[in-house]
Structure 1
């Protein structure tokens, strides 16, 4: 980001994930040269400062995303949805990532944002055989670019810092295993980079016209294997470890082993380990001379990360002690847990059909599929009701005309015996969203609060919904096969 003179208006930068690992560190770096809109799902918990305005935003909501980016000149996108985002999440992370990116890109376009800066992963040359994680990262990059706002993508491999995903896993393996059996993937080449070098690249990309619409790879001064990183990490930690190469441990077995050994949730470990079949090395042809070449060595970065982690641990303990003391003198109770549901599925539409068509077809098909137990009704305003035997609807869906178009059909879950009754209307909604420049469609339920007791719901209605969506997907594929369209995509969707 170019330095601003005293007479120039300070740029306004919207920063997603501002309370997270990378976002919080980037926030500190940008605060002196820009006004920051710090975005977080719990932004209300933080206090504004002279140059930082916190906003709460659930980017699964397009309306929230639009409000979040109001007044922003630039937007930094650091969002990733590998962990569940509701009490019950029935969705693949790649489908959730797609919704988040699509909302963000549309909101950026509506608010006149000049540039989106996106932190992604290094994409190896064999792009036809990418892992789920890297394929999703590339898909997000394309979706962010679909509405005309220039996107600058900073692609990094393993980021060495006190938190995050990959380096803490390496550290935990070294810490907990005196003798480590090393699968084949630990000999794969990767290009670690220090957190500070990544922050330098992100900051330097903001407002950088040379990189508008471009992607760059970034990497540190060393190309290493995971085995070499484990050896160096053990040395920095002052531990002696015996390493044994094993040829028989598959990627599937490795991801389970890593998850159990490190205590890291499988939602995070599995996609990361699957990506290790690829060499994650920065391509010199995709590197920028000013931003791509990290200066900090792996050992130096690892030492700094471990020291910072220890310091943050002490600060967190002190803060918890203070909170416990304050809570003992207060009558305030803890915030209740919200029993909400997010369920996301991806389907393939027939050629020329849209999300709006898919919404209408789904309601009609549901009655055909469930007859004689299930029936549906749709009024002239596209409001729908779903019944099972009785006169009272199971669910009432109110169509949102002002938030819908051919590429998106949005219904609010406004009532029915299966919806929890609330004094004020909730945010529960069902949407059909077409993926830009494709015939794929996302069907998603957000923030739905069921009326059934939670235990019963998870083993009945929740399972039934997945079953229904599976057969609707099959119905659409059958229709496409009859028209002999997209044979390759049909195979992938099946």
Structure 2
């Protein structure tokens, strides 16, 4: 009897998202699947499916999770941080997650990354902040050479999807169903079945490598009609009131309900009628609840700031510049001292360093310099997990990120939050201004014309 071929390995990042939870069962029928989440809790007994804990803010974790992977599905959004205190914009955290994932995919020769993204207007002037962030993530995923298949989809109708969660909340949280005039705009939402079918059809198909898939629903519907159909499916009997847009905004209308969705150029076969998709999305399930990881007992800090970053400079050069700049602007209160592969930051009149940063050559590259926060009076060092500070260049840009991860302060938490944490943000703001001034000066110097030479008579 002939032996069956080994199944390809697929890693799903963001497996606990609404799409991820619907994808795992059909995906495990065809592949050996590793589902990544922060907690790594086993969330159901499904053959060929393994849950793994993964912190994508760590390159080491990303590389460990993608080992032996043939393909990957990227469904990650960083709206929430697992740190006690987060000093960061979600766009910058998204870039770090995507960059770590793309670096790990390159190292382990992953054949394809599937990236799911909502439909985004082509004109930058019409793109919202969140949409611009999604495009940045796509660019970073492609930056290291792994083929990326981007599935651009309209709003998704499915259980716990962003659209349906918003619609259900809209219906349940008000004594009346409020219908702003902008809910008369049309969109072509897609069902969750259509999204899952498209992912499965694209995964492993060489014809789809480095391609964009436009996914739109086959039925045009207004948001008003979607809200009323959802209310009927939920068996909610309420009066509805049409409101002018200004009054609707005053009542707190959701932008996801009042922004029109543009239809894309291609359509896919409709697998589930829209009314049935709405019914399935509003069915309340019991049991198999997704357990959320508990809060960390030790307070921790994540801080990410975007700064100017010339692609001509290595990340370690920016780190050295930061240490020398800090000593200069902090004089006489602060001084920095290089000790081999370490930097120590001292306070005036204090013999022990306030912070000690140790360079990690193993996890650093020309575009990323990593330091562990290995000691100092201001750091509560955990032998199982060090805080980290990194300097990272954003691919194909003149920008970079300076980030602190998993830092545990030794000061009492309230004191730290209103002193050291505030000072760190001020220091990052001043260093950003320093880099901007430095890059502007270099740019002017390069553009300055050379004086004409004297002619010999």
TM-score (norm 1): 0.83
**Larger mean Cα displacement after TM superposition, 366-375 or 433-442:** 366-375
Residue 118 of structure 1 contacts residue 151 of structure 1 at CA under 8 Å; is this kept in 2? yes
> C-alpha displacement at 1:302, in angstroms?
1.4
Q: Do 2:178 and 2:248's aligned partners in 1 also have CA atoms closer than 8 Å?
A: no
2:282 is aligned to 306
Give the CA deviation at 1:49: 5.7
Alignment correspondent of 1:491? none
Contact 1:116/1:149, CA 8 A, preserved across alignment = yes
1:483 partner SS: helix
CA contact (8 A) 1:219 1:294 kept: no
Match of 2:244 in 1: 246
Query: What are structure 2's unaligned runs of at least 5 residues?
Result: 446-457
Matched, 1:164 2:140: no
1:388-427 mapped onto 2 (5 Å cutoff): 388-389=347-348, 390-422=350-382, 424-427=383-386
8 Å Cα contact 2:311/2:397 also seen in 1: no
Is this contact kept in 1: 2:346–2:354, CA < 8 A? Answer: yes
Counterpart residue number, 1:445: 404
| Match in the other structure for 1:480 | 439
Work out whether 1:14 is the aligned partner of 2:11. yes
Aligned to 1:198: 195
Secondary structure of 1:58's match?
coil
Question: 2: CA distance between counterparts of 1:53 and 1:247?
Answer: 48
> Matched residues in 2 for 1:55 and 1:33: separation?
19
* 1:183 to 1:483, Cα distance in 2 relative to 1, 3 A: farther
> Does residue 421 of structure 2 align to residue 462 of structure 1?
yes
Equivalent residue of 1:200, what SS? Answer: helix
Q: Which runs of 4+ in 1 moved over 4 A?
A: 44-50, 180-185, 275-278
For residues 31 and 214 of structure 1, the distance between their equivalents in structure 2, rounded to whole angstroms, comes to 24
After superposition, the Cα gap between the structure-2 partners of 1:409 and 1:187, relative to the gap in structure 1 and judged at 3 Å, is farther
Could you say which residue in structure 1 is the equivalent of 2:272? 296
1:385 deviation in Å?
Answer: 1.1
- Structure that is richer in helix per residue: 1
- Deviation, structure 1 residue 219: 2.1
Aligned pair in 2 of structure 1 residues 48, 364: CA closer, same or farther (>3 Å)?
farther
Per-residue CA deviation, residues 297-321 of structure 1 (Å, 9 max, x unaligned), is 43321111111xx12xx3268x99x
- TM normalised by structure 2 equals 0.89
Contact preservation (8 Å) 2:335, 2:346 = yes
CA distance in 1, matches of 2:242, 2:158: 26
TM-superposed CA distance for 1:70, in Å, is: 0.6
CA RMSD of aligned residues (A): 2.6
Computing the radius of gyration from Cα coordinates, the structure with the larger value is 2
In structure 1, list runs of 5 or more residues that go unmatched.
259-268, 321-333, 487-494
- The 1:189–1:49 alpha-carbon spacing in structure 2 relative to 1, beyond 3 Å, is closer
Q: Distance in 1 between matches of 2:391 and 2:330?
A: 21
User: Matched residues in 2 for 1:37 and 1:438: separation?
Assistant: 32
- SS of 1:398 mapped into structure 2: strand
Post-superposition Cα deviations, 1:234-289, rounded to whole Å, max 9, x if no partner, equal 222232331323232597x67xx25xxxxxxxxxx7xxx3x7776423311xx3x6
User: Cα–Cα, structure 1 residues 336 and 177, in superposed 2: closer, same or farther, change >3 Å?
Assistant: closer
